[in-house]
Amino acid sequence: MNVILSAIRNSGTAIRIFELHTADGKAFPAYQPGAHIDVTLGNGLVRQYSLCCDQPSPDRYRIAVKQEPQSRGGSAWLHAEAKEGDTLQISAPRNAFALADAAGSHLLFAGGIGITPVLSMAYALLRDGADFHLHYFVRDEASVAFRDELTGTSLATHVSIHAGLSVDQTGAVIAAALTDAAVDAHAYTCGPGPFMATVVDLATARLGASQVHKESFSAPVAEAGDAAFVVRLSDGKEIEVASGKTALACLQEAGIEVDCSCEVGVCGTCQTKVIEGIPDHRDGFLNEKEKASNLWFMPCVSRARTGVLVLDL
């Protein structure tokens, strides 16, 4: 659907907030906190951004984007080229990071721009009168996004901002928050990969994996010892995937068309059926049950645990 970029404002170091309104007067689809949308940018790229509205609205969406030094073209375009009045195209909201209905309380851990989906969760929990607390970790005080909302509204009593902590200090704060958590609490995290890994490890040890939820919009860090493997197509053609390349890139170089969008394993566009072999799942799209079934493979980020992976391509 087409939308109008109706307002742009700065909020924290290298972070901009973009307000979107409907272009045709029709209502936006409803969504639950934690949802994200695909945004087709003026340079043709498609990127995923979390909705971070303070309250649901039929004619207003809001996203926030940090300009990344190693931008692949998404944040760079939005910061340098986008202007109020532009028309963009977006998808309907999708949600793989929803609040748990059965949770007795909620612990929200956000790192940097990972505040975006977590902020919408906090607002929803506040409206529902739920028991929750948001811990927001930033590089320094200047990096706090949405400061006016986090400190100057009724959210403030539910928010702790942690600025300039070392890795060890960050881990200690997270551990302390989890120590006091009730057994029926659920933990949620979004932010840089190492930060989320710390939250997930500590929260899983305290609460169990089923009560820990994460959202990632960045590619997983390459693991030492990644082995090459072979992708075999349904017609028998074989394509070698080198240790330093993705299956998606190797397929494309071989002239195999694979639909793709985010290229970091979160949108599901490149989801491919597995005929034989065991994937090494590294995406953030499939749930744990889907990963355990080994029926699906995300060639943009995932690899193989077997020497050959036969795909329905």
Q: Yes or no: say if 103 and 150 are a contact pair by the CB < 8 Å rule.
A: no
pLDDT mean over 115-122: 97
Residue 228: per-residue pLDDT: 93
Q: Is residue 196 classed exposed, middle or buried when 0-12, 13-18 and 19+ CB atoms within 10 A define those classes?
A: buried
SS3 56: coil
Let me know the angle formed at the C-alpha of 289 by 286 and 295, rounded to the nearest 5 degrees: 70
Residue 218 has pLDDT above 80, yes or no: no
Domains of the chain as residue ranges with CATH = 2-90 (2.40.30.10), 105-215 (3.40.50.80), 229-311 (3.10.20.30)
Please state, for a pLDDT cut of 70, what percent of the chain lies above it: 96
Most confident of 37-41, 142-146, 221-225: 142-146
Residue bearing tokens 């200690």: 172
Q: Yes or no: say if 100 and 130 are a contact pair by the CB < 8 Å rule.
A: no
Residue bearing tokens 């990096």: 143
SS3 67: coil
Residue 224 has pLDDT above 60, yes or no: no
C-alpha dist (Å) from residue 297 to 34, 60, 260, 306: 24, 35, 13, 13
SS3 232: strand
The C-alpha atoms of residue 246 and residue 219 are separated, in whole angstroms, by 11
Starting from the edge strand earliest in sequence, which strands make up the sheet with 229-232, in order? Answer: 238-241, 229-232, 308-311, 272-276, 296-297
pLDDT mean over 141-160: 97
Confidence tier at 43 by pLDDT (50, 70, 90)? confident
Looking at residue 141, what DSSP letter applies?
Answer: G
Q: Yes or no: say if 203 and 187 are a contact pair by the CB < 8 Å rule.
A: yes
Confidence tier at 94 by pLDDT (50, 70, 90)? confident
What residues contact residue 55 under an 8 Å CB cut-off, 6+ apart? 123, 127
Quote the mean pLDDT of the chain.
92
The C-alpha atoms of residue 307 and residue 312 are separated, in whole angstroms, by 17
CA 69: distance to chain centroid?
A: 18
As a whole number of Å, the CA-based R_g of the chain is 20
**216 phi and psi angles, rounded to 5 deg:** -130, 135
pLDDT mean over 155-166: 97
The C-alpha atoms of residue 74 and residue 44 are separated, in whole angstroms, by 9
Lowest mean pLDDT among 63-77, 172-186, 200-214: 63-77
Q: Yes or no: say if 276 and 235 are a contact pair by the CB < 8 Å rule.
A: no
Residue 222 has pLDDT above 60, yes or no: no
Residue 71: per-residue pLDDT: 65
